[in-house]
Amino acid sequence: MLKTEGKTDTPLRGDYSAMRADYTIEQGWEKYTDEEHALWRQLYERQTALLPRYAAPEYLECLGRLNAADGIPDFRRATEVVHKATGWELVAVPGLIDENAFFTHLSERRFPVTNWLRTPEEMDYLVEPDVFHDFFGHVPLLIHPVFADYMQAYGKGGLRAMKLGTMENLTRLYWYMVEFGLLNTKDGLKAYGAGILSSAGETVYCIESPEPNRIGFDLERVMRTKYRIDDYQETYFVLESYEQLFDATSQDFGPIYERLRGLPDFAATEVLPDDKVYTRGTGRKRAA
């Protein structure tokens, strides 16, 4: 998501030495320590205390079906639940993997889940996705039929965008809608994005804070909007339903990329005249 193996100056921390050609490894579930399972429970309990108030109901329902409260889940057992629901499988990876491999897995309904857990010092923040982010954040919605189809379509779209040499617009769509998306519900705005729901701070911030903008989803608007990776988001985009995202993305992106090529990007803080504004933010108070 943030960095990809081989493309960065900071080394990735997973063990890439035992990787197969498709970038998968054994999860090694038996090797997790009691301390790691205890840290998982702590992360899990902290998030589930916040979620009834802040998370989208579909996400919560799917999370419950995974029975993952007691410790780091065994991906083989979780796969049984997910596969029965939507045909997706979980595969273990050492962390961020090559983009082509990542999209190939998604396009074949396999979700790569990082196998290592953060340290206790990283309860609140870490740079690379770990098993808590990947599993707790991403796996529940793979049980949701519409979202599950969207993720596969995203994988196919990613492979295509790589060939066309136009990754950036699609990456923003993933960032804003898969990692940081909000949903409008009868009980107000709720979070469903994985980057939000795996972070205690952002779970509260994205709903409660007066600082960020909350703007209705529009495909090309999202694709043109820059984002920040080093702090809470300055703008969140809001879906009316998962179908809205799936429908908007079932068209051919080729002509869209062509059109966007000639148009300027928007700053992460910008609000446009045509935006459907849920809340206009006051802006970030603290320095980055």
- Nearest Cα neighbor of 54 from 144, 142, 185 is 185
Q: How far is the CB of 229 from ligand HBI (least distance, A)?
A: 11
Interaction mask 162-181, ligand HBI, x per CB under 6 A = ---------x--x-------
Residues 93-112 that bind ligand HBI (CB under 6 A): 93, 96-97, 99, 102, 112
- Nearest Cα neighbor of 101 from 5, 178, 2 is 5
- Residue tagged active-site, from 36, 58, 198, 202: 198
State yes or no: residue 63 binds ligand HBI (CB under 6 A).
Answer: no
State yes or no: residue 73 binds ligand HBI (CB under 6 A).
Answer: no
Told to judge if 208 belongs to the known catalytic residues of this protein, a careful annotator would answer no
Residue 185 DSSP label: E
Told to judge if 36 belongs to the known catalytic residues of this protein, a careful annotator would answer no
Phi and psi at residue 75, in whole multiples of 5°?
Answer: -60, -30
151-165 burial, b if ≥16 CB within 10 A, otherwise e?
bbbbbebbebbeeee
Q: How far is the CB of 280 from ligand HBI (least distance, A)?
A: 29
Residues 236-275 that bind ligand HBI (CB under 6 A): none
Q: Please, how many CA atoms are within 13 Å of residue 193, restricted to the half-sphere of its CB?
A: 29
Told to judge if 37 belongs to the known catalytic residues of this protein, a careful annotator would answer no
- Nearest Cα neighbor of 153 from 114, 194, 103, 224 is 103
State yes or no: residue 117 binds Fe ion (CB under 5 A).
Answer: no
Phi and psi at residue 10, in whole multiples of 5°?
Answer: -80, 130
- Residue tagged active-site, from 138, 144, 202, 234: 138
Interaction mask 182-221, Fe ion, x per CB under 5 A = ------------x---------------------------
Whether 198 contacts 186, CB under 8 Å = no
* Interface with Fe ion: number of residues (CB under 5 A): 3
Q: How far is the CB of 107 from ligand HBI (least distance, A)?
A: 13
- Nearest Cα neighbor of 204 from 50, 90, 3, 71 is 50
Q: How many Å apart are CA 256 and CA 249, to the nearest integer?
A: 11
Residues 3-42 that bind ligand HBI (CB under 6 A): 4
Applying CB under 6 A, the span of 45-53, 78-86, 92-100, 217-225 interacting with ligand HBI comes to 92-100
Catalytic residues: 133, 138, 179, 198
